[in-house]
A and B are shown apart, each in its own frame.
Chain A
Amino acid sequence: MQLLIFYGFGFLALFAAISMIMSRQPVTSALLMILNMFCLAGLYAQLGAHLLAALQIMVYAGAIMVLVLFVIMFLNLREKAGIVSKHGVMTQAVGIAAFGFLITALVSKLDMGKLPAAKAPGADFGSVAAIGRALFTDYLLPFEITSVLLLAAIVGAVVLAKRKV
């Protein structure tokens, strides 16, 4: 059953990702990206990360992708000749093949015997309470730095959006 859920979400996510990079229309790409994020949220929930599954839908599929869709519709791009970048298709293909090989080699070499067997997670694993506790004790400094990062991003976005750049 678990495996069935994994394959369902996994293949749907893969399908969405591949159609995303192949589609001609940016809007189609964005919608497929949202589908991909929903599938990943399902996988997060299956892995016990319930808070992150909710955040994935709210922050990624909700906020970020709506912003992307807004920009796509705002720019109203016209179809140009070809969707594929013209620089060194051969170089790209070789690089991509090498990368795929690397990933496969890494995963197949991973020695599962050395990892501790997956424990049954506790009742509050991945819950809001557990994550919040860790976030405000062990991860307090990174949490505060994140707020500074977001402030910097807001200032940067406002500067970029000014008339004269």
Chain B
Amino acid sequence: MDMPVPLNHYLILSGVLFSVGVVGVLSRRNAIIVYMCIELMLNAVNLTLIAFSRQLGDLNGQLFTFMVMAVAAAEAAVGLGIIIALFRNRQSVDVDEVNLLKG
């Protein structure tokens, strides 16, 4: 085994992926793409947790990631259910048209 990758590299990659996810959530209008960007942000956080878990030799980070995956699975079921209900009511999944909760 040669030189391991420094922790910094993983953190920067994870931060950049998270930022890309934020840009997607803020700028896309298709609700399904917004949903996938949220998944991307969850994945970026998972990468941070696992990188720290390796760095500190501690399994807790990996268990956190395990829980995040379970939450993501629950989110997939409910989020896609909401998107389908939205489409059924409005024939569109454009987030710009869904503004009933806007104050």
Contact = CB atoms under 8 A, between A and B. Distances in A.
A21 B28 contact: yes
Interface in B12-26: 12-13, 15-24, 26
Contacts of B9: 3, 6, 10
Interface residues of B, number: 76
Given A33-B36, A107-B12, A160-B85, A21 B24 contact: yes
A142 B73 contact: no
B5 A71 contact: no
Nearest to A161: B81
B78 A80 contact: no
B11 A107 contact: yes
Contact of B59 (A59, A125, A156): A125
B28 A6 contact: no
Q: Chain B at the A interface: mostly helix, strand, loop or mixed?
A: helix
Given A99-B19, A107-B8, A120-B1, 18 more contacts: A6-B9, A6-B10, A14-B20, A21-B23, A21-B37, A29-B32, A51-B62, A52-B62, A60-B72, A63-B73, A72-B32, A85-B95, A95-B26, A104-B12, A110-B7, A130-B59, A149-B70, A161-B85
30 contacts: A6-B5, A18-B20, A20-B37, A21-B33, A26-B30, A43-B50, A47-B51, A47-B54, A48-B54, A52-B46, A63-B76, A67-B77, A71-B83, A71-B84, A77-B30, A80-B29, A84-B28, A85-B29, A85-B95, A87-B96, A92-B26, A95-B22, A100-B16, A103-B12, A110-B7, A112-B6, A153-B75, A160-B78, A160-B84, A161-B81
Interface of A: 1-3, 6, 10, 13-14, 17-18, 20-21, 26, 29-30, 33, 36-37, 40, 43-44, 46-49, 51-52, 55-56, 59-60, 63-64, 67-68, 71-72, 74-75, 77, 80, 82-87, 89, 92, 95-96, 99-100, 103-104, 106-107, 110, 112, 115-116, 118-121, 125-126, 130-131, 134-135, 139, 142, 146, 149-150, 152-154, 156-157, 160-161, 165
